[in-house]
A and B are shown apart, each in its own frame.
Chain A
Amino acid sequence: MTPLLEIRSLSVDYGYGAVIRDLSITVSAGEIVGLVGESGCGKTTLGWSVLGLLPRSARVDGSILFDGTELIGLQARKRRKLLGVRLSLIPQAAMASLDPMFTVGHQIREIILTHQRGGRAGADARTVGRLREVGVAAPEARLRAFPHELSGGTRQRVATAAAMILNPSMLIADEPTSSLDVTIQAQVLGVLRSVILEHGTAVMFITHDLGVVAQISDRIAVMYAGEIVEEASAQELFEDPKHPYTKKLLAAHPGFSNKGQRLATIPGSVPDPAQRPGGCSFEPRCPVAIPLCQEDRPPWVAVESDRHVRCVHCAPNH
């Protein structure tokens, strides 16, 4: 399968050290890839690099190919033709992603009419259909509602409908449910999943929550300090994690650790981008580190056909 999104050796620097370091990942058409990592590891930065939302001051190196088009350095006008049409975002603070000054109908209509000719009536009919699909009750009436009149869950559904309105082939969902209550989170996640499966949308699903990623992803990439340290199918990753950081993450998660066992926490914190260690970024917190880890960056090793790990213990000559 040819990849729809292909990120190669991406590095992003806001001016004080690489926040994303030599990161590569691919997402195939229709595939749902979960991207997990602690807060501050660069997940949002990665999403913004793809969408061209990084501040001007950020230095970006590497390559991001979307359906054969290089996105890095792409002219704003050409990028705009892709955004919303073929490549959409559900932002991190999705509840704040609707403009408080305008109605739901107005905002979704704006996206439709930015990209396609047509009238208000057609756009609204389409919006109503999509709102119904994501489980918004009384969608016709909601067209005239302002964001503050909607509950958090409904706002999130509206944002999802807006991102999906033109049937993009790829969606970047940046922690789309993390600002919601747990019960509503599950509902919204269910809706999102059914909509993307229905339309065969490829998704880069960014989250810090392994539970969420387990529910939705085909493949999972674990991110640490701006790098991907392990990449595997969802099943392989949960059954047989290879990287020490993934192991720790799984152990720290109540849903996956053994029952009755005390919750493990990971000592230490993600290193500041300005002072990352020279060798393995995880070395200061790694329980199985060896002297070599401080010196050389561990290689990106293919463990099985489509599994990769970045740790000396998985390197063939180790």
Chain B
Amino acid sequence: MIRVLLHRVVLIVPILFGASIIVFAIIRLVPGDPAVIMLGLNATPKLILQIHQQLGLDQPVYVQYIHWIGGIVHGDWGHDYLSGQPISGLLTTTLPVTGELVVLSLALAIALGVTVGSVAALYRGRLPDWVSQIISMIGISIPDFWLGIMLTLLFALVLGVLPSSGFTPLTVSIPDNLIHMILPVVALASGLTAVLIRITRAAMLEVLGQEYIRFARASGVPEWRVVLHHGIRNAAAPILTVIGLQAGYLFGATIVIETVFSLPGLGQLILNSTLTHDYPVIQASVLVLTLLFVATNLLTDAAVLAIDPRLRQARTA
């Protein structure tokens, strides 16, 4: 098992390199010039050229890339075009915001999705099953940003019980932080929750039909224990795999959700730097987002390996 995981960890390097090349190339294909944006109304061809020289944008693209990636390898993320601040500083302030948003959303989606999905499987074909199917269909079909806006309208504007936007760092006030996180987390978690309801229901139905479940029931093991202990443990592998895959979608969706709720996270950083063509900032933040996605996948794979004794032993041997 350790070997497989090491192998996967090593694979992260080429994945990140590939991602870095793609971001680097794509943002340069987007029409627009960072120098023009920086200069605004003052832009003259001469000044533009001067800024290009300052930022190294006059050099061939591959030279620019080697220069940039060389810095990254040495731990130098480069500087923000507009403010000249080191990007590492931007990352350390935005990453915790996005991290908290994603971790809370994942936790909510898993707790809700697995519970509702299991209940649906247990009550197959009866009322709770129908209700859960409807909830999951709604969750899958409603776009998360729209849900975000609707939730804001209802809870912030009509009922006035929750703040519509903004952010308080955890270090300042935990309750304040959490109150601001409720709506964005619900909006972000809705899609994954819906998917997890479906996957859990299907996986649980499969597991609950197995002979060992029948044997446990026939041995007098209480139903809650049959479901929680034997059922969920056996259904965990497909559920974890889906979580790993869907995490990519979740990370992508932070861009929209952070914008809707004005959360100063990585997603908003990506959006703003894209609008200003701030190349090094976009590159750095997309790279970090990619790393987070790959790491989540690695974690879920590790969890699948750790949970199933058959895999655990087959792969070590």
Separation in Å of the A114 CB from the closest CB of chain B? 5
Main secondary structure on chain B at its contact with chain A?
A: helix
Number of A positions contacting B (CB below 8 A) = 32
Contact for B211 among A80, A82, A93, CB less than 8 A? A93
For A82, the chain B residues whose CB sits under 8 A away are: 220
Given contact pairs A101-B309, A146-B310, A96 touches B220 in the complex (Cβ within 8 A)? no
Contact for A83 among B219, B234, B307, CB less than 8 A? B219
Q: Are A96 and B211 in contact (CB under 8 A)?
A: yes
Number of B positions contacting A (CB below 8 A) = 23
Q: Is B146 an interface residue (CB 8 A)?
A: no
Q: Are A97 and B217 in contact (CB under 8 A)?
A: no
Per-position binary interface string of chain A over residues 85-105, scored 1 when its CB falls under 8 Å from any chain B CB and 0 otherwise: 100110111101111111000
Contact for B218 among A53, A102, A115, A148, CB less than 8 A? A53
For A51, the chain B residues whose CB sits under 8 A away are: 218
Q: Are A146 and B230 in contact (CB under 8 A)?
A: no
Q: Are B220 and A115 in contact (CB under 8 A)?
A: yes
For A27, the chain B residues whose CB sits under 8 A away are: none
Mark out the residues of chain B between 189 and 218 whose CB falls within 8 Å of any chain A CB in the assembled complex. Answer: 210-212, 214-218
- A97–B216 alpha-carbon span in the complex (Å): 8
Q: Are A114 and B219 in contact (CB under 8 A)?
A: yes
Q: Are A81 and B220 in contact (CB under 8 A)?
A: yes
**Which among B217, B229, B230, B233 has the highest number of chain A CB atoms within 10 Å?**
B217
Contact for B223 among A76, A97, A115, A148, CB less than 8 A? A76
- A99–B313 alpha-carbon span in the complex (Å): 16
Q: Is B170 an interface residue (CB 8 A)?
A: no
Q: Are B309 and A84 in contact (CB under 8 A)?
A: no
Separation in Å of the B126 CB from the closest CB of chain A? 8
Q: Are B215 and A91 in contact (CB under 8 A)?
A: yes
Q: What residues of chain B have their CB less than 8 Å away from a CB belonging to chain A?
A: 210-212, 214-223, 225, 229-230, 233-234, 307-310, 313
Q: Are A84 and B307 in contact (CB under 8 A)?
A: no
Complex: chain A residue closest to B234, CB-CB = A101
**Which among B214, B218, B230, B313 has the highest number of chain A CB atoms within 10 Å?**
B218
- A98–B230 alpha-carbon span in the complex (Å): 10
Separation in Å of the A192 CB from the closest CB of chain B? 16
Q: Are B234 and A97 in contact (CB under 8 A)?
A: no
Q: Are A162 and B211 in contact (CB under 8 A)?
A: no
Q: Are B216 and A53 in contact (CB under 8 A)?
A: no
For A76, the chain B residues whose CB sits under 8 A away are: 223
- A62–B210 alpha-carbon span in the complex (Å): 28
For B308, the chain A residues whose CB sits under 8 A away are: 100-101
Q: Is A159 an interface residue (CB 8 A)?
A: yes
Contact for A53 among B210, B212, B217, B313, CB less than 8 A? B217
Complex: chain A residue closest to B218, CB-CB = A89
Q: Is A111 an interface residue (CB 8 A)?
A: yes
